[in-house]
């Protein structure tokens, strides 16, 4: 019975019940009390009644009398008389020896909670007050398990998981331990896969994850859990925390294509955090012989971005060789701008902008940046007539929006004598570059990374 196997206990009891008369009253009472508890656990109320009736005829000491009264109150509860049971539990909680008093107090709280006489918060307070009423047996396990449930149901996930963890730690051999561990894992999944943790402040969610990291499942679910949390850290600019999550994942959980994919996201974070050297390092450390082409292209673009940030423009251009995507064109714009290769920047800008001037839809911020750079490149190249044409094409679209004043100054060839072109160019050299980059790569975090075998 003490091992949590009530049916086995009853089977053994029935086999040896004939020998009860050979024992003294105290030993006999202990056997019968254990049998009654086991019978109650499996729902055999008839056997409970029989044992309690026989116990009533024995000369019991106060402790055993209290145990019998407790079982009688439990029987009243099972028979649908909670009011009588509550009265008996309340009386026992006040006057019985400590082990029985503690259990009676716990049962009283449960009945009051069920009846609505206590709120969950009030029940938690009462159970917390019982934490040290009696320790080291099934009562403490019951108390910790129930506390964990109440906390979790109330949204106090840290307290709930901690209560369950204590139950497992204090009673590792109890049969219920595995079920409690499974409940912990299910709650952790609900939090970090089901989105429940998204309702918490980001730092709170991260701290909860780290405190119970051992609950992270193996395989794709665990990897997805880590990625979701990392993405959330990026959204609120907690870049070092986001990087820490992915660093651990890359080092200990992943290999092959999956590792290269997550490393690509980590490189993005390093770049967002102004750490191009570390971005290059993680890309180099996770290079794979065989990798999906789209992932390879993304990694090369990030490598180029890092090289641009380090002002290694020629190397960045080589990395982008053969890439005709719009993303590559935008990166080449950065290369030519940084290297002051104005003629190349003009060609690149025309590829990016095309006949955009023919459409009267509002310009995006990225388009405004490219138009401004186009104007600067034309001005710095001394291509006045082309600059006048660009002004005619784009001024109506630029008017009234961001960067218009800078564009107007640069493209105004009639008033060029009064403009220090190099000074103006220097002032706008980094116009919103970081903002543009962060917006672009934050958007990338809305899509999942490639998985192994993809």
Q: Name the pLDDT band for 454 (thresholds 50, 70, 90).
A: very low
Average pLDDT over residues 147-160: 98
Q: Torsions phi, psi of 57, nearest 5?
A: -90, -5
Cβ-based neighbours of 412, under 8 Å, separated by 6 or more:
391, 419
* Portion of the chain with pLDDT greater than 90, in percent: 69
Q: How far apart are CA 227 and CA 259, in angstroms?
A: 12
Catalogue the E-assigned strands of 46-182. Answer: none
Angle at the Cα of 135 (from 132 to 139), degrees rounded to 5? 105
Angle at the Cα of 157 (from 155 to 158), degrees rounded to 5? 140
Q: How far apart are CA 4 and CA 141, in angstroms?
A: 12
Residue owning tokens 């009945």: 111
Compute the Cα dihedral for 44, 50, 56, 60 and give only its sign. negative
pLDDT in tens, 389-434: 999 999 999 999 999 998 998 998 776 655 666 666 655 555 445 4
Q: How far apart are CA 293 and CA 137, in angstroms?
A: 60
Using alpha carbons, select from 251, 243, 311 the residue that is nearest to residue 279. Answer: 243
Q: How far apart are CA 126 and CA 287, in angstroms?
A: 57
pLDDT at position 132 is: 84
Compute the Cα dihedral for 354, 355, 356, 357 and give only its sign. positive
The single-letter DSSP state of residue 52 is H
Average pLDDT over residues 17-23: 73
DSSP string, 279-339: HHHHHHHT--SS--HHHHHHHHHHHHHHHHHTT-HHHHHHHTTT--SHHHHHHHHHHHHHT
Question: Is pLDDT of 241 > 90?
Answer: yes
- The full 3-state SS of 167-206, as one line of letters, equals HHHHCCCCCCHHHHHHHHHHHHHHHHCCCHHHHCCHHHHH
Which stretch of 218-232, 380-394, 402-416 has the lowest confidence by average pLDDT?
Answer: 402-416
| Start-to-end Cα distance in the chain | 53
Q: How far apart are CA 88 and CA 31, in angstroms?
A: 23
Q: How far apart are CA 337 and CA 374, in angstroms?
A: 10
Length of the chain measured in residues: 454
| Alpha-carbon Rg for the chain in angstroms | 36
pLDDT at position 7 is: 82
Q: Name the pLDDT band for 446 (thresholds 50, 70, 90).
A: low
Q: Name the pLDDT band for 175 (thresholds 50, 70, 90).
A: confident
Using alpha carbons, select from 376, 383, 364 the residue that is nearest to residue 338. Answer: 376
Cα dist from 285 to 9, 70, 255, 264, whole Å: 60, 66, 11, 11
Q: How far apart are CA 387 and CA 414, in angstroms?
A: 11
Mean of pLDDT over the chain: 89
Q: How far apart are CA 304 and CA 327, in angstroms?
A: 11
pLDDT in tens, 91-134: 999 999 999 999 999 999 999 999 999 999 999 999 999 988 87
Average pLDDT over residues 212-233: 93
Residue owning tokens 């049998």: 35
Residue owning tokens 């509002």: 362
pLDDT at position 90 is: 95
Q: How far apart are CA 437 and CA 268, in angstroms?
A: 10
In which region does residue 161 sit, left (phi positive, over 0), alpha (psi from -120 to 50) or beta (all else)? Answer: alpha
């Amino acid at each position: 019975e003490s091992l949590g196997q009530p049916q086995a206990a009853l089977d053994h009891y029935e086999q040896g019940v004939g020998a009860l008369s050979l024992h003294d009253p105290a030993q006999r009472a202990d056997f019968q009390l254990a049998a009654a508890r086991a019978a109650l656990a499996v729902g055999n109320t008839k056997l409970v009644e029989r044992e309690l009736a026989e116990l009533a005829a024995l000369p019991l000491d106060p402790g055993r009398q209290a145990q019998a009264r407790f079982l009688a109150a439990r029987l009243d509860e099972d028979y649908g008389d909670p009011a009588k049971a509550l009265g008996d539990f309340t009386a026992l909680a006040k006057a019985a020896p400590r082990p029985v008093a503690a259990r009676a107090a716990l049962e009283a709280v449960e009945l009051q909670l069920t009846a609505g006489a206590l709120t969950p918060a009030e029940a938690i307070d009462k159970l917390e007050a019982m934490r040290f009423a009696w320790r080291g047996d099934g009562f403490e396990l019951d108390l910790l398990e129930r506390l964990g449930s109440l906390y979790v149901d109330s949204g106090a996930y840290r307290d709930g998981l901690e209560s369950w963890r204590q139950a497992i730690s204090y009673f590792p051999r109890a049969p219920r331990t595995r079920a409690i561990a499974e409940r912990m894992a299910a709650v952790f999944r609900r939090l970090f896969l089901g989105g429940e943790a998204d309702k918490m402040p980001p730092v709170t969610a991260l701290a909860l994850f780290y405190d119970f990291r051992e609950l992270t499942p193996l395989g794709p679910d665990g990897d997805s859990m880590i990625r979701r949390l990392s993405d959330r850290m990026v959204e609120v600019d907690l870049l070092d925390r986001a990087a820490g999550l992915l660093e651990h994942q890359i080092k200990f959980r992943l290999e092959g294509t999956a590792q290269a994919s997550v490393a690509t996201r980590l490189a993005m974070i390093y770049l967002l955090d102004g750490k191009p050297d570390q971005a290059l390092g993680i890309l180099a450390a996770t290079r794979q012989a065989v990798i999906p082409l789209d992932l390879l292209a993304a990694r090369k673009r990030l490598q180029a971005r890092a090289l641009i940030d380090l002002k290694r423009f020629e190397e960045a251009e080589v990395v982008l060789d053969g890439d005709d995507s719009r993303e590559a064109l935008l990166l080449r714009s950065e290369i030519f701008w940084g290297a002051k290769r104005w003629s190349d920047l003009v060609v690149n800008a025309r590829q990016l902008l095309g006949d955009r001037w023919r459409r009267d839809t509002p310009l995006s911020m990225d388009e405004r940046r490219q138009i401004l750079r186009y104007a600067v490149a034309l001005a710095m190249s001394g291509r006045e007539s082309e600059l006048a044409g660009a002004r005619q094409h784009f001024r109506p679209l630029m008017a009234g929006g961001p960067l218009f004043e800078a564009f107007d100054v640069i493209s105004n060839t009639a008033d060029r004598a009064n403009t220090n072109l190099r000074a103006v160019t220097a002032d706008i050299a980094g116009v919103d570059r970081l903002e543009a980059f962060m917006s672009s790569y934050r958007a990338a975090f809305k899509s999942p990374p490639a998985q192994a075998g993809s």
